[in-house]
Amino acid sequence: MKISDILSGEKLTMSFEVFPPKADTAIESVKSATEEIARLKPAFMSVTYGAGGGTSKYTLNIAKNIKDSYGVPTVAHLTCVSSARETVCRQIQDMKDAGIENVLALRGDLTPELENSDRSGLDFSHAIDLIREIKECGADFCIGGACYPEVHPESKNQNEDIKYLKEKVDAGCSFLTTQMFFDNNLLYNFLYKIREAGITVPIIPGIMPITNANQVERAIKLSGSFMPQRFKNLVDKFGYSPEAMKQAGIVYATDQIIDLYANGIKNVHVYSMNKPDVAKKILENLSEILD
Ligand code: FAD
The active-site residue, picked from 10, 17, 154, 243, is: 17
Whether the CB-CB separation of 180 and 271 falls below 8 Å is answered with: yes
Mutate which of 107, 131, 168 for ligand 1? The one with the most ligand atoms within 8 Å of its CB, which is 107
Name the residue among 210, 260, 205 with its Cα closest to residue 232: 210
Whether the CB-CB separation of 139 and 71 falls below 8 Å is answered with: no
Beta bridge partners of 69: none
Whether the CB-CB separation of 143 and 131 falls below 8 Å is answered with: yes
DSSP state of 125: S
pLDDT value of residue 31: 95
DSSP strand pairing (267-271 vs 175-180): unpaired
Spans in the chain with pLDDT lower than 50: none
- Ligand 1 pocket, Cβ-based, cut-off 6 angstroms: 48-49, 51, 77, 79, 104, 106-109, 126-128, 146, 152, 154-155, 161, 164, 168, 177, 179, 206
pLDDT value of residue 112: 77
CA 131 centroid distance within chain: 17
pLDDT digits (tens, 9 = 90+) for 33-45: 999 999 999 999 9
How far does residue 133's CA lie from ligand 1's centre (Å)? 16
Q: Is 100 exposed, middle or buried (0-12, 13-18, 19+ CB in 10 A)?
A: buried
Q: How far, in Å, CA of 70 to CA of 244, rounded?
A: 32
Phi, psi of 12, deg, nearest 5:
-75, 135
Q: Is there a catalytic annotation at residue 113? A: no
**Identity (one letter) of the amino acid at 27?**
I
Q: Is 116 exposed, middle or buried (0-12, 13-18, 19+ CB in 10 A)?
A: exposed
How far does residue 242's CA lie from ligand 1's centre (Å)? 32
pLDDT value of residue 54: 54
pLDDT value of residue 43: 98
Give the N- to C-terminal CA distance of the chain in Å, as an integer.
21
Name the residue among 66, 29, 32, 24 with its Cα closest to residue 47: 66
Q: How far, in Å, CA of 37 to CA of 113, rounded?
A: 34
pLDDT value of residue 83: 87
